[in-house]
Structure 1
């Protein structure tokens, strides 16, 4: 429902349902001893327990989802700063239209996460959640809000560091273009400067793409799976 990759509109609902059922059956075999002693068939006990487990699972997926959404945000910011975000195209992982550079960054980062088996780490987090929050302990909303706030803060700082070269590039180039416009007002600066702004930004991204994605993957596992 909220896990990066599987929650995409490109993944059919039946496939997501089959994945959930398969993961549930596989985990039940290994977690039987931790689940059965707390199962009570009375509705007043069973229904709150089911709601608590749904909230805990949603929190685990949401923490990873926040980090991927932060990457899409900085990707949109980079495209705008490079002058390459004027026309939105079809998105790959999301429903809303986005710039071509943003779609490339989001899809590449998501593919890299699956190559590094982050979905296996999500399963490990689900198994570990039964030790951190057993079935006899209800969902702790305060701790969940703290985790969400910490993830938002860490993802913001990491994405700001990843996008800082493009922010500096946009400031320097636009400042230079502004000086040129003041010195020679008769030159149509906008039509001349935009191709150079886009070309320079794409060249910068070409050289920085590998490091960009590597730092994203390192920060993702440190900020989400590491917690």
Structure 2
């Protein structure tokens, strides 16, 4: 027994850092970071994944932990998982943001539903597009790609040796810009339709003042908007797939071997 303890002691600090790097992905990543998963389950899954990954890790330099360096080292390890998880969630957030803009223009912004993924109320349209994006993410094996990127990060970023640089800032800035671009692309057709519908209703109100434009325009806007969304399902689906694929590829290049 003493020999076993002596053998395991050098591995304890390294294993602890592996656990915290795994734990980072359970905070913001799609599906893994869902508020539907209790904190205890996330902690258990982090330890289980660490047990599975640690034996196959490449040789790591010895990690010396002290009371002074322990918080910084743990924080740097969790930051890797946070960056990967947050970056992977941006296409899904973009779809939710696009749906929010669409719902506001259709007058559905007053109807709020609970988003269990984030534990907050959101627009009905935004929730619908977010759940659709999450389904596409899972069908594309995005969760597998996240774990692959995280495991391969041990080859490029040794334990206890990560300090974010300008490359990380540049990549995250680019991913955020792509997120807003996707959100605008998703919502732009409906925004244009609502703009044209508003102009048409204005002309009708001037030519036929007897009509109640408010009672006529509101349901007409919703019907036209829903028909447009149905017609654009395939283009939105293709744009989402490209965005998820590009995002996962960028994250893999950032942390992969």
> Superposed, which structure 2 residues align to 1:97-116 within 5 Å?
97-116=121-140
Q: For 1:97, what is the secondary structure of its paired residue?
A: strand
What is the number of equivalent residue pairs in this alignment?
Answer: 225
State the shift of 1:47 in Å.
4.3
Cα deviations across residues 189-217 of structure 1 (Å, max 9, x unaligned)? 01111111101111111222233123212
Residue among 228, 231, 245 paired with 1:207: 231
Pair 1:22 & 2:20 matched: no
Structure 2, unmatched stretches of 5+, are 1-26, 252-257
Q: Does 1:124 align with 2:148?
A: yes
Using the TM superposition, give the Cα deviation of residue 102 of structure 1 relative to its aligned residue in structure 2, in angstroms: 1.7
Specify the structure having the higher radius of gyration (Cα). Answer: 2
Which shows bigger deviation, 74-83 or 116-125? Answer: 74-83
Taking a change above 3 Å as real, the CA distance of residues 26 and 128 of structure 1, as seen in their structure-2 partners, is same
Distance 2:71 2:37 in 1: 29
Aligned pair in 2 of structure 1 residues 210, 21: CA closer, same or farther (>3 Å)? Answer: farther
**Aligned-pair distance for 1:144?**
2.8
State the shift of 1:173 in Å.
1.2
Kindly state the Cα deviation for residue 13 of structure 1 after the two structures are TM-superposed.
2.2
Q: Provide the C-alpha distance between the structure 2 equivalents of 1:164 and 1:188, rounded to a whole number of angstroms.
A: 28
Task: Quote the residue 2:207 is aligned against.
Answer: 183
1:34 pairs, out of 59, 72, 86, with 59
**Unmatched tracts of structure 1, length 5 or more:** none
C-alpha contact 1:34 1:130 (8 A) present in aligned 2: no
Match of 1:89, SS state, is: strand
Q: Is the 8 A contact 2:102 2:187 kept in 1?
A: yes
| C-alpha contact (below 8 Å) 1:9/1:94 kept by paired residues | yes
Aligned partners of 1:220 and 1:28: how far apart in 2?
28
CA RMSD of aligned residues (A): 2.1
Q: Of the candidates 176, 179, 182, which is equivalent to residue 152 of structure 1?
A: 176
Q: Residue 14 of structure 2 aligns with which residue?
A: none
| 8 A contact 2:91–2:182 mirrored in 1 | no
| Matching residue of 1:3 | 29
Indicate if the aligned counterparts of 2:94 and 2:182 stay in contact, CA closer than 8 A: no
Is the 1:67–1:152 Cα contact (8 Å) retained in structure 2? no
Shift in CA distance, 165/98, structure 1 to aligned 2, threshold 3 Å: same
| Residue equivalent to 2:96 | 72
**Is 82-91 or 40-49 further displaced after alignment?**
40-49
When normalised by structure 1's length, the TM-score is 0.88
